[in-house]
Amino acid sequence: MSEIVKIFLELAKIPSPSKKERPVAEYIKNYLAKYPTIEVLEDRTGQKIDGNCGNLIVKIPGGSPHILFDAHMDTVAPCDAINPQLKNGVITSDGTSILGADDKSGLALMLALIDHLMTDDFPHPTCTFLFTVCEEQSLMGAKLLEQKYLDSVDYIYVLDGEGPIGTAVVKTPHGCKGTLKVIGKEAHAGVCPEEGINAFVVAAEAVSTLSIGRIDEETTCNIGVAQGGTATNVVMGELSLQFEARSFSPQKLEELTNHVKETFARVCQQYGAQFEETLQLGTPGYQLADAAPILTAFKKACEHEAVVYQGAACGGGSNANVYRMRGINAVNLSTNMQNIHSVNEQIAAADLEKMLTVLKQLLQKVK
């Protein structure tokens, strides 16, 4: 069994839900303790989010440019007891939990890459390794990282993508989400229902006139949570709907959210109800040109390792979106984790090994 696979299996066994990443952070600190010259810094993000751990930062001096690798320590649930299985070259859980390849594959690759930098004598760029917290909850760890850790960084490679090894996420959507709230009027449903205004009925009419789901090839929207009502014998007085929209086009996103708000406002007015909303734009999406320098080095590394490069669009965001929002050239690279956020999550041992060879070459190719 290769060292990268051993590291991943050890990490996968450690439960680390968002805001409770401390055990994984301690594993990382203990793993790197064998290198006396390495200092593992921990920031104060944990205190800011009421978590038990902050982001970890490891910097290894070198030449120019300064590149940063990023992976997140937290996973989604269920993750209380994870029993990774390696069968026929594929790593899975035992079916009762997630595996945590999202994103412990990235963590394992970063630790193995640090080993490479510390034990093999070769000229290399200055490298920072950022192990973030709370990525699964609105990318909070990356958003709250102090700017001083990013000021001198030229490129950021986030190791948190899906797709075959060699995939770079070059296009991600812009997003908007929040609450759509219909305020009607309560009344006794059996005595005087005509005196009430049923918030559910109002909202249902508004939603029925909207397109929900896939709007076009660039745009989606969804209502994922509905909360309202107090009892079956009371006309529903309020209903809150949790709404989100995403689009690769900022203009389409704006048009869609305006249409949703205008539709709810119009229907509410017809029924004598009130409408409130808290829709807000999220972390911006991004689109990279094929000739972007951050991609050039990755393409050369892939070519050297006989890996097919491909640029891909992704319907979700990652820490790369945060760093680009903060003005740093960043891209998300795939570790080929599959079926993430489910008990069917898996990753191939060979993909961990292959991605490590690509990243080693990236250190040589980046300029």
Whole-angstrom CA distances from 216 to 102, 115, 206, 264, 273 are: 28, 46, 20, 21, 31
Could you confirm whether 94 is annotated as catalytic? no
User: Which of 169, 176, 290, 185 shows the shortest CA–CA distance to 228?
Assistant: 185
User: Is residue 217 flagged as an active site residue?
Assistant: no
Cα distances (Å, whole numbers) of residue 148 to 43, 57, 68, 73, 202: 11, 11, 13, 21, 50
Pairing of strands 329-334, 155-161: parallel
**Catalytic residue selected from 21, 43, 74, 103:** 74
Residue-wise DSSP of 258-302? HHHHHHHHHHHHHHT-EEEE--EE-S--EE--TT-HHHHHHHHHH
Helices (H), the chain: 3-12, 22-32, 45-48, 101-119, 140-144, 199-208, 250-271, 293-304, 319-325, 349-365
Q: Which of 43, 103, 115, 135 is catalytic?
A: 135
Could you check whether the bond before residue 78 is cis, i.e. omega within 30 degrees of 0? Answer: yes
Name beta bridge partners: 245. Answer: 176, 221
**CB-CB contact of 124 with 63 (8 Å):** yes
- Rg over CA atoms, the chain: 24
Neighbour tally for 194: CB within 10 Å: 7
Structure token digits, residue 56: 């970890």
Catalytic residues: 74, 135
